[in-house]
Amino acid sequence: MKAQSTAEMVGSRPSSRISNASSTPETSQSPNPALELCGLSKSFTLGGGLFKRGRTLGAVNDVSLRIPRGQVMGLVGESGCGKSTLAKMLLGLTSPTEGDVLVDGEPLRGADQKALARHIQPIFQDPYSSLNPRKRIAQIVGLPLRVHGIGTAREQATRVAETLDVVGLPRRAAEQFPGQLSGGQRQRVAIARALIMRPDIVICDEPTSALDVSVQAQILNLLLDLKTEFGLTYLFISHDLAVVEHLVDRVAVMYLGRIVEEGSREQIFSAPRHPYTQALLDSALTPEPGLGVPDIGLGDAMPDPSNPPSGCAFHPRCPKAQAICQQTRPRLEEFRGGNARVACHLA
C-alpha cells in the first residue's frame, strides 16, 4: 500500500503552533508538552427552571494533565466518569467552566476554529453514527478542507485520495456511501477525516469499542503506524485495559470527574497505588483459563455524579476506606520524583 513514505504523500508535518509559524518536530524541539490541561473543569446544570435553581453536575473537576509530544496518553475509567466531556473540551466542542487547555504552550481559548482544527482532531467510537449516511466517502473525508477553505478543489481531491491510501482504504471507496462499507472500513474513514487536516494531536474516544476483535486489531495497528509516520500525539480513551496497555506510554485513571492516579504504563500496570486502579486491573479478564473471576470487593453502589460522596468520592466502594476518607478529599500528590501522581490517603 505504501510506495513512498506516507508522510511524504500527505505533505510536511503540520505547524506545531497555533500561530501559523511552520516548523517540523526535528527543527523545533519545543520544551512544551504537545497538550497541557490546567485545572480543567466542566459542570452542567440539571433540571433548572424559571424559579428553581437546578442542581449542578461536575462532570470534570480540576483536571491537570501534560501529554508530551509524540506520546500516547491513555484515559480510563468507568462510564460517566467524564472522559468524553474532557475530550469535547479539548476539541473545542464544549467550553470549560474553568481552566485552560494549552496546545504547545499556547492557550486554546480564543484560538479560532480553523487553527484549532489544524491541531486537534477527533476519532469517535461509533463509525455508524458519526458519518453522514447520505454523503460519499470522498465528501466526508474532504469536508474539513472545504469548511476551512484549504486548497483548490483539485488539491482537495488529491489530498483526499492520498489520505484514503494512508488509512488503507481502496480508491473506489471514495465514491461509496458509509452504508456500503464494513464497520472497520467506516472507522478508517473516520481516521482519514481526522488526518486530512494534518493535526498534531488526535483524540481517540473509544475508537475500537464498537468493532469486533479481529477488526479492532487492524485499526490498532493502523493507529500505531500513523503515530510513528506522522509523529502524532494521542489521547486514547478506552475501557479495554489490555488495549490501553498495548498502546499507551502513560495512563490517567479517572473516577467521578477527577484524576485519581496517573503514571507511566509500567507504573500503572505493574504497581498501581490507587485502590480504584487496582480494582480496575483486577476486573480485566484476560484470556487465561483456570483463573476464575476474582472477587474485587467493590460493590456496585455507583455514586450519583450530581451528589458526589464526601471526602474521597471513591470511599463508599473502596475496600480500604478509613474514617478520614469520608471527611477529607485526598490531594493528587506526586511521587516518583514527580513522574507519577495518586490521590489516596492510604496509597
Ligand X SMILES: Nc1ncnc2c1ncn2[C@@H]1O[C@H](COP(=O)(O)OP(=O)(O)O)[C@@H](O)[C@H]1O
Contact between 96 and ligand X by CB under 6 A: the answer reads no
User: Which positions from 194 to 233 touch ligand X by CB under 6 A, shown as an x/- string?
Assistant: ----------------------------------------
Report the DSSP beta bridge partners of residue 301: none
Task: Specify the residue, 145 or 181, whose C-beta has the smaller distance to other proteins.
Answer: 181
CB closer to ligand X, 15 vs 125: 125
CA–CA distance, 161 with 146 (Å, rounded to integer): 15
**CA-CA distance, 15 to 115, in Å (whole number)?**
10
Q: Does 288 bind other proteins (CB under 8 A)?
A: yes
Q: What is the H or E stretch that residue 81 is in?
A: none
CA distances (Å), origin 155, targets 27, 140, 158, 164: 27, 16, 5, 14
Instruction: Give yes or no for a contact between 184 and 223, defined as CB atoms under 8 angstroms apart.
Output: no
Contacting ligand X (CB under 6 A), which of 16, 41, 71, 84? 84
302 binds other proteins (CB under 8 A): yes
Take residue 180 and report the three cell numbers written for it: 456500503
Q: Kindly state the cell numbers that stand for 333.
A: 500528590
Nearer to ligand X, 57 or 325 (CB): 57
Of 31-39, 75-83, 129-137, 285-293, the window that binds ligand X (rule: CB under 6 A) is 75-83
Q: In terms of CB distance, is 110 or 292 closer to other proteins?
A: 292
The footprint of ligand X on residues 290-329 (CB under 6 A) is 305
Q: Which is nearer to ligand X, 196 or 203 (CB)?
A: 203
Decide: helix, strand or coil at residue 8. helix
Q: Could you tell me the smallest distance in angstroms from the CB atom of residue 305 to other proteins?
A: 12
Per CB under 6 A, the list member of 85, 156, 238, 267 interacting with ligand X is 85
Q: Which candidate, 190, 236, 243, 179, places its Cα nearest to that of 213?
A: 243
| The one-letter amino acid at 13 | R
Q: How far is the CB of 74 from other proteins (least distance, A)?
A: 11
How many secondary structure helices (H) and strands (E) does the chain include? 11, 12
**Rounded to whole angstroms, how far apart are CA atoms 165 and 231?**
18
How many other β-carbons are positioned within 10 Å of the β-carbon of residue 79? 9
Q: Is 41 among the residues that bind ligand X (CB under 6 A)?
A: no
Residues that bind Mg ion (CB under 5 A): 83-84
Q: What is the rounded CA–CA span in Å between residue 86 and residue 60?
A: 7
Determine contact, residues 305/58, Cβ cutoff 8 Å: yes
> Out of ligand X, Mg ion, other proteins, none, which partner does residue 220 contact, by CB within 5 to 8 A per kind?
other proteins
Residue 57 binds what, of other proteins, Mg ion, ligand X, none (CB under 5 to 8 Å, by partner type)? ligand X
Tell which positions 69-128 bind other proteins, by CB under 8 A.
78-79
Contact footprint for other proteins (CB under 8 A): 78-79, 182, 184, 212-218, 220-221, 224-225, 228, 239, 241-243, 245-247, 265, 269, 279-280, 282-296, 298-300, 302
